[in-house]
Amino acid sequence: MSKVSVLRCNEYDPELIYNVIKQSLVNIDFHLPTNKTVLLKPNVLGQRKPETAVDTHPAVIDAVCRLLKEKDNEIWIGDSGGISAYGGTKKAFQVSGIEAAAKKHNAKLISFEGSRRKKIIDNNAKILKEFILAGEPFLADMVINIPKLKTHVLTKYTGAVKNIYGCVPGGGKAKKHALAPNEDSFSQLLLDIYQNIPIHLNIMDAIVGLEGDGPGSAGIPKKAGLILVSENAPSLDIEASRIIGYNPLDIKSISYAIERNLSPKIEDVEIIGEKNINVNFKKPTAKTQLASKLPKPMLKFLFNLASYKPYTNKDRCKKCNVCADVCPVDAIELDPYPEFNRQKCILCYCCHENCPHNAIDLGHNLITRVYKKVKEIFGEG
């Protein structure tokens, strides 16, 4: 049996968050260490202010640091953001407010793209048999994962398991997207990484999450008013995804985690605190399930036909070149606005996810356009 604490927390009030997390730890019978080095892994996707709900809120980081400092722990806070080049993660720490929270508690900030390295060899992995991770999670005495509750255009939902992807330093994340461009393979890749990192505790910022075309600036802030805590990341994801309206088994990182014995079965997850909560989150418009059900010989052609494509919204575009920088297959060039090479594009949506100006739209696919035209001609019946 795996325990998940679900408690109400309606505001980013530091004292309230502190008390809720403290009670959450009691709920799952988890004890913080004393005089140890503890690494916090927040979700620092981009250089976004707290009110955008893209990154883990600094008030949550503040509360966790306070609890750790009460036990005389040394605190590290580390991540590698979506825009990791040219000091991108460092700037994201600043803009998100996490840097200020770190300074308050004398915590050490670590940008994983410039940190130590750890080579992983895993013959049991599905996608990544050999890969590089940041070294700090393996040097700390404890790792606390602090994800954000969000929808995701590729994986439908992003939470505790997906947040560990930030332990891949810098440009390595884009390269791995190229290795695993679709929902199925990317979810397996996430679990390859997750099963090799020692995560001791997961605390989800679900006070205000992100709905719609998340996890970046195209998503819409949505209040859920919750904090979820569990020792097991997939267990937390099971309950969080259910709360926002998904069947957890439809989230491939969850179903594959159960297959790999990285997670208990859904019926073996015990919810402590608030039960049967439902928050109506708008789902990503860019997600189509057709491709996952197709015969393999037809998969590539019909997946491309049925999938949403990225396009530049020239009214919002600032020509900052971030989309081209994060593209794992170099399918974007500025001329003078971003132009997409459709032969190269693998539909990973990294450009959409990381654009700081929400200038990459996801256009209707051919099947959707035909369906809408048929409805116009023949009506609803």
- Cα angle 173, 179, 182; round to 5: 95
If one counts every other C-beta atom within 10 angstroms of the C-beta of residue 268, the result is 12
C-alpha span between 250 and 288 (Å, rounded): 12
Q: Which helix (H) or strand (E) holds 7?
A: strand 2-8
C-alpha span between 240 and 227 (Å, rounded): 10
The answer to whether 167 and 112 are in contact (CB under 8 A) is: yes
Which residues fall within 8 angstroms of residue 264, CB to CB, at 6 or more apart?
1, 2, 232, 235, 258
User: Do 2-273 and 291-378 fold alike per CATH?
Assistant: no
The DSSP 8-state label assigned to residue 285 in this structure reads: T
Architecture of domain 2-273: 3-Layer(aba) Sandwich (3.40)
Q: What is the pLDDT of residue 377?
A: 62
Structure tokens at 309: 């494509």
* 366 Rama sector, left if φ>0, alpha if ψ -120 to 50, beta otherwise: alpha
Q: What is the pLDDT of residue 294?
A: 44
- Provide the residue ranges of all domains of the chain, joining segments of one domain with +: 2-273, 291-378
Q: What is the pLDDT of residue 39?
A: 98
Helix (H, G, I), strand (E, B) or coil at 238: helix
Q: What is the pLDDT of residue 152?
A: 95
The answer to whether 90 and 111 are in contact (CB under 8 A) is: yes
C-alpha span between 222 and 287 (Å, rounded): 19
Q: What is the pLDDT of residue 84?
A: 63
DSSP string, 20-81: HHHHHHHHTT----SS-EEEEEE---SS--GGG-SS--HHHHHHHHHHHHTTT-EEEEEE--
The hierarchical CATH code for the domain 291-378 is: 3.30.70.20
Structure tokens at 230: 């569990």
Q: What is the pLDDT of residue 351?
A: 83
pLDDT tens, the chain, 381 aa long: 899 999 999 999 999 999 999 999 999 999 999 999 999 999 999 889 999 999 999 999 999 999 999 999 999 999 998 776 668 899 999 999 999 999 999 999 999 988 899 999 999 999 999 999 999 999 999 999 999 999 999 999 999 999 999 999 987 887 888 889 899 999 999 999 999 999 999 999 999 999 999 998 889 999 999 999 999 999 999 999 999 999 999 999 999 999 999 999 999 999 999 999 999 999 998 544 444 444 445 444 544 555 567 888 889 999 898 888 888 788 899 888 898 898 888 777 778 777 888 888 876 555 555 545 555 565 544
Does residue 336 have a cis peptide bond before it, meaning omega lies within 30 degrees of 0? yes
